[in-house]
Amino acid sequence: MTTASPPTVDGADRRTPSTGRAAAPSPVAAAAGWLVKNPLLVLLVVMVAGVQLATGSQLGWGNLRGVFLDAAVIAIVAAPVAMLVIAGYIDLSVGSTLALGGVVAGKVVQSGGSPLVAVGCALLAGAAVGVVNAVLATVFGLSSFIVTLGMLTAVRGVAQLVSPLPLSNFGEAFGFLGIGNIAGIPLPALLAVAVLLAAGVFLTRTPAGRHVYAIGVNREAAYLSGVDVRRIPFLLFVTSGAAAGLAGAITVARLNSAPAGQLGAGFELSVITAVLLGGIALTGGEGSMVDVLVGVLFMGLLRNGLTLLGVTTFWQNVASGLALVAAIAIAAGTHVVRGRMQAREAHRPDEPATAG
Amino acid sequence: MTVSIRGLTKRYGPTLALDHVDLDIAAGEVHALLGHNGAGKSTVIKCLGGGTAPSAGSITIGGTTHDALDPRSSIAAGIAVIYQHLSLIDRLDVTENLFLGQETTTAGVFLRRADQRARAVRLLERVGLDVSPDTPVRQLTIGQRQLVEIAKALSREARLLVLDEPSAALSPVESRRLADLVRLLKAEGIAVLYVTHLLNEVVELADRTTVMRDGRVVWSQPMAGVSKTDLVTAVSGRAHGAAVAPRPVDPDTPPALTVDHLQAPGLHDVSLVVRPGEIVGLYGLVGSGRSRLLETLFGRRPVTSGTVAVDGRTVRVRRPDDALRAGLALVPGDRLRQGLFGSLSSGENTVLRVMSLTARAGWRRPRAEQEVFRSTAAAFGLRPADPEVPVSRLSGGNQQKVLIARWVNDRAGTRVLLLDDPTQGVDVGARAEIYEVLRQVAAERGLAVLFASNDPDEVVALAQRCLVMRQGRVVDDLDMRHTGEEQLLDLIHTELEPS
């Protein structure tokens, strides 16, 4: 709600901010401003309302439960990946890390390990992949895009080496991780909520969380402000790997089989799509866990809505892809509108200027 | 008259960057343009080069009057601006750069390389640059690149050549060669607008000099009979040059910062002390080591040997975090690239570091953070004093206050404040406010302040003591009660003349 104009490129910065806050905006203007800031949420509500009216079945608990089960696995991984994107990095290896976590958990269960030990091993396997990513991207300073793209292929190979033949039949106890309910809510969805909440609290309530943004906005300035610009991204890579491992265990438990070759194929793209849909910019420095949640739900509900409407799989792919492009175009458009709104406030003549 | 500027006015929001500027440059004349940072020189240049459109006024060149120019029409009108940050393309060779945008072609499609190369050879000869036209530009020195830019201007048959602080990054030998070339071009009838800080260049080269202050022309005369003292008076404008007498610091106070025989790449045996409450200027040209010294103290660059002590305790600084823990903080010279988190709010920019210090058991304490912002915003007169404004929307002066507040507040524990070029890109009124803030933090909080500057006016206005740097050494320690702007300008002068 503030004023002032963008800095000039002039050697001498001669602009002075016209001071203070703008007059209290009218409720209509406030609502408009909120809509402009959250365009995807608006689209989401409109879309769900439309599908619900047309089919009458999207908002049924049975249907929503399925949607949440699918979305949960994506959300668990999208949370740490979004934090990496905010810090100016990316993790493309999560699809294969999911596969590795899945087959590791499957192996442990089949050799008599308890479900908890299996989940622990899946987390460790994923974290190990994260450490490799982290060392290459933060210690050696290689491009995280290239490093994790390479790891995407390499880790897929490792998963297939661990389990050349598909595993299956893990028993009911382990299956609970994938399809079990607590108080009627699927366990994976509860885990996803926990992960999103933890990440959200970390990002907003701890100094290290704010440093994630600082690093993404201006790494050099962060370094000169005494921020540890290696350790924070390092830990985020490890977290992202561990989360993908956990997602692997959940997926395997749900499917009751672990085909190392197909498990989580294309999963990294779903994660990145959800993150981008949520409005988290690839350039870093902005975004929140609410954005991630909205992005994940939008993707899940869009696919589900198309299925309910009887759209075939091929057309669903076309629609999902176009939805991503459209969402980003809308986000860019509203960004422009927001800029204009701020500029108009800045140029209101009634504010007397004070010398800066 | 080749070029006549009449009533040129440029308004940025409520601020006048240029206020009815008149300027005439005759063919075959070298016209010097002087003034402090922020006086409006660069805005004049931008209006001429088409980088910005004036709000009012006109530019007449070769009989045609323009209300506004864009880069293309500026070139077509015969104006060539050589900016301080040269605009050549590193990966292309000299010939390609010379003819970029005006390539010689057959049937409008095919490059006539041999033709271009032959013309390039003639142009390079004319500016006295002895390199092959096939050399990639990235292999040239700054001085050589500048000559390529001038050759490019000549190839476009420029009638007005605008040079923006051309000698700032040149060696003495290169500067002399440049001066010879300027005389040559003048003899060919080209009008030259020469923007500079260095009075010696003006005395040596200019036929006429115009001085700007606060967006206005305050002085304009032919150079015959004008002395350097006249120029200093015109540039500084005694009115605001009158510095507040700094409170003297007891020389027996134990120093807050002690640097003892510091050796580092680019620095030679630097020793200095700064006492609590003292403001010391590090004065020297670009490349003298003043910024390098600050960055070395702050742990941004490695130390070879020697010791640094804060409040008498020797500290080992390997990275900025170590320096900050020891109570040494740096406000960097490049605010946008090294200091600010542009899209984050000014509140967040202020508390970015103290966030960790106020936190309890790893949790932020929003109240404590707000208090830090509120108290520093009030103490430093931050406008707007609203923690939610993205810091990129503040003016330069207020951005600088945010960066100072990041290190100087009730929680930060800073003992020594280092500032590199503290008023770069800050307008005149805000500059006085920054000085006031720095005096306040020195006097009231007992901080030792060490700032680097190449602006003698700034050193006179702010410093109690001035350390002069040259080629990585501290060569002089001046008590500013007995030193004036002119003496400092003379010190720059001796640097340019290798004895």
> Would you call B332 an interface residue with chain A, using a CB distance cutoff of 8 Å?
yes
Picking from A15-19, A230-234, B377-381, which range would have the lowest pLDDT averaged per residue?
A: A15-19
In chain B, residues with a C-beta closer than 8 Å to the C-beta of A220 are: 337-338
Tell which of A1, A5, A13, A347 to mutate to test the B interface (max B CBs under 10 Å): A13
Cα separation of A43 and B239, whole Å?
61
pLDDT exceeds cutoff 80 at A76: yes
What is residue B337's DSSP assignment?
A: I
The CATH number of residue A332's host domain is: 1.10.3470
Of B15, B37, B39, the CB nearest to A15: B15
**Residue in this structure with the two tokens 């977290």, named with its chain if needed:** A239
Nearest CA in chain A to B357: A207
Predicted confidence band of residue A38 (pLDDT cuts 50, 70, 90): confident
One domain, residues B356 and B467: yes
In chain B, residues with a C-beta closer than 8 Å to the C-beta of A208 are: 362
Domain count, chain A: 1
> Would you call B426 an interface residue with chain A, using a CB distance cutoff of 8 Å?
yes
Predicted confidence band of residue A347 (pLDDT cuts 50, 70, 90): very low
A243-270 burial code (b ≥16 CB/10 A, e <16): bbbbbbbbbbbbbbbbbbeebbeebbeb
One domain, residues B162 and B86: yes
Picking from A149-153, A328-332, B123-127, which range would have the lowest pLDDT averaged per residue?
A: A328-332
Cα separation of B214 and B237, whole Å?
11
pLDDT in tens, B368-422: 999 999 999 999 988 888 898 889 888 888 999 999 999 999 889 899 999 999 9
Nearest CA in chain A to B343: A217
- CB of B405 within 8 A of CB of B377? yes
B289 domain residue, yes or no = yes
Average pLDDT over residues B257-269: 95
Strands (E), chain A: 167-168, 181-182, 185-186, 257-258
pLDDT in tens, A115-163: 999 999 999 999 999 999 999 999 999 999 999 999 999 999 999 999 9
| Interchain proximity B40–A225, CB inside 8 Å | no
pLDDT exceeds cutoff 90 at A297: yes
Predicted confidence band of residue A15 (pLDDT cuts 50, 70, 90): very low
pLDDT at B143: 83
> Would you call B313 an interface residue with chain A, using a CB distance cutoff of 8 Å?
no
pLDDT at B499: 39
Cα separation of A82 and A289, whole Å?
8
* Closest CA of chain B from A356, distance in Å: 5
One domain, residues B67 and B175: yes
pLDDT exceeds cutoff 50 at A17: no
Mean pLDDT score of chain B: 87
| Interchain proximity B300–A18, CB inside 8 Å | no
What's the ipTM?
0.79
> Would you call B50 an interface residue with chain A, using a CB distance cutoff of 8 Å?
no
> Of A39-53, B308-322, B374-388, which has the strongest mean pLDDT?
B308-322
Domain count, chain B: 2
One domain, residues B155 and B268: no
In chain B, residues with a C-beta closer than 8 Å to the C-beta of A8 are: 12
Tell which of A5, A10, A203, A213 to mutate to test the B interface (max B CBs under 10 Å): A10
Picking from A96-110, B185-199, B315-329, which range would have the lowest pLDDT averaged per residue?
A: B185-199
| Interchain proximity B425–A207, CB inside 8 Å | no
Strands (E), B69-187: 79-82, 105-106, 110-111, 160-164
Picking from A147-151, A316-320, A336-340, B448-452, which range would have the lowest pLDDT averaged per residue?
A: A336-340
Cα–chain center distance at A177: 22
| Interchain proximity A205–B364, CB inside 8 Å | yes
| Interchain proximity B359–A207, CB inside 8 Å | yes
Query: Which pairing describes strands B216-222 and B208-213: parallel, antiparallel, or unpaired?
Result: antiparallel
Structure tokens at B387: 């923690």
A352 domain residue, yes or no = no
Predicted confidence band of residue A5 (pLDDT cuts 50, 70, 90): very low
Average pLDDT over residues A324-345: 70
Nearest CA in chain A to B18: A14
A180 domain residue, yes or no = yes
DSSP secondary structure string for all residues of B376-401: HHHHHT-SS--TTSBGGGS-HHHHHH
Cα separation of B220 and B216, whole Å?
11
In chain A, residues with a C-beta closer than 8 Å to the C-beta of B15 are: 14-16, 353
| Interchain proximity B362–A206, CB inside 8 Å | yes
One domain, residues B308 and B430: yes
Average pLDDT over residues B182-202: 88
Of A15, A17, A206, the CB nearest to B384: A17
Cα separation of B286 and B292, whole Å?
10
Tell which of B295, B321, B369, B433 to mutate to test the A interface (max A CBs under 10 Å): B321
Query: Which pairing describes strands B79-82 and B160-164: parallel, antiparallel, or unpaired?
Result: parallel
- CB of B218 within 8 A of CB of B212? yes
* Residue B472 Cα distances to A249, B81, B262, B463, angstroms: 61, 32, 11, 20
- B103, with CB counted inside 10 A (0-12, 13-18, 19+), is middle
- CB of B338 within 8 A of CB of A243? no
pLDDT exceeds cutoff 70 at B236: no
Cα separation of B271 and B273, whole Å?
7
Cα–chain center distance at B106: 44
Nearest CA in chain B to A213: B344
- CB of B167 within 8 A of CB of B175? yes
A26 domain residue, yes or no = no
A174 domain residue, yes or no = yes
One domain, residues B383 and B470: yes
> Would you call B318 an interface residue with chain A, using a CB distance cutoff of 8 Å?
no
Phi/psi class of residue B63: alpha, beta or left (left: φ > 0; alpha: ψ in -120 to 50)?
left
- Give the domain range for residue A134: 39-51+72-338
Cα–chain center distance at B38: 10
Average pLDDT over residues B281-297: 90
Q: For residues A239 and B227, which has the higher predicted lDDT (pLDDT)? A: A239
pLDDT at B177: 86
Nearest CA in chain A to B365: A205
Query: Which pairing describes strands B448-453 and B416-420: parallel, antiparallel, or unpaired?
Result: parallel
In chain A, residues with a C-beta closer than 8 Å to the C-beta of B429 are: 355-356
B462 domain residue, yes or no = yes
Picking from A35-49, A281-295, A334-348, which range would have the lowest pLDDT averaged per residue?
A: A334-348
In chain B, residues with a C-beta closer than 8 Å to the C-beta of A211 are: 352
A27 domain residue, yes or no = no
Residue B210, strand partner residues: B33, B220
Task: Name the domain boundary from B173, B205, B238.
Answer: B238
Cα separation of B285 and B280, whole Å?
16
Of A15, A208, A220, the CB nearest to B395: A15
Residue B328, strand partner residues: B416
pLDDT in tens, A194-227: 999 999 999 999 999 999 999 999 999 999 999 9
Nearest CA in chain A to B330: A224
- Give the domain range for residue B425: 257-496
Structure tokens at B456: 């003698």
Tell which of A37, A217, A224 to mutate to test the B interface (max B CBs under 10 Å): A224
One domain, residues B171 and B261: no
Share of chain A above pLDDT 90, in %: 64
Handedness of CA A183, A188, A191, A197 (dihedral sign): negative
One domain, residues B107 and B135: yes
| Interchain proximity B38–A12, CB inside 8 Å | yes
One domain, residues B284 and B379: yes
Average pLDDT over residues B41-59: 89
Phi, psi (deg, nearest 5) at residue A318: -60, -45
Tell which of A5, A16, A350 to mutate to test the B interface (max B CBs under 10 Å): A16
* Residue B377 Cα distances to A268, A274, B348, B382, B413, angstroms: 45, 39, 13, 5, 18
B15-51 burial code (b ≥16 CB/10 A, e <16): bbbbbebebbbeeebbbbbbbbbbbbbbbbbbbbbbb
Q: Count of CB atoms within 10 A of residue A48's CB?
A: 18
- CB of A251 within 8 A of CB of A263? yes
Give the contacts of B72 (CB within 8 A, at least 6 positions apart).
Answer: B50
Give the contacts of A266 (CB within 8 A, at least 6 positions apart).
Answer: A95
- CB of B264 within 8 A of CB of B304? yes
A10 domain residue, yes or no = no
The CATH number of residue B192's host domain is: 3.40.50.300
A17-31 burial code (b ≥16 CB/10 A, e <16): bbbeeeeeeeeeeee
Cα separation of B44 and B5, whole Å?
10
pLDDT at B1: 59
* Closest CA of chain B from A212, distance in Å: 11
pLDDT at B39: 79
Report which residue type is found at B194: Y
Of A11, A15, A285, the CB nearest to B12: A15
Task: Name the domain boundary from B210, B238, B266.
Answer: B238
Predicted confidence band of residue A20 (pLDDT cuts 50, 70, 90): very low
Mean pLDDT score of chain A: 86
B243 domain residue, yes or no = no
pLDDT exceeds cutoff 90 at A192: yes
| Interchain proximity A17–B393, CB inside 8 Å | yes
A33 domain residue, yes or no = no
One domain, residues B225 and B330: no
- CB of A276 within 8 A of CB of A256? no
Residues 341-400 of chain B whose Cβ lies under 8 A from any Cβ of chain A: 341-344, 348, 352-353, 355-356, 359, 362-364, 383-384, 386, 388-390, 392-399
Nearest CA in chain B to A352: B14
One domain, residues B90 and B118: yes
| Interchain proximity A2–B12, CB inside 8 Å | no
B445 domain residue, yes or no = yes
One domain, residues B233 and B261: no
pLDDT exceeds cutoff 90 at B242: no
B246 domain residue, yes or no = no
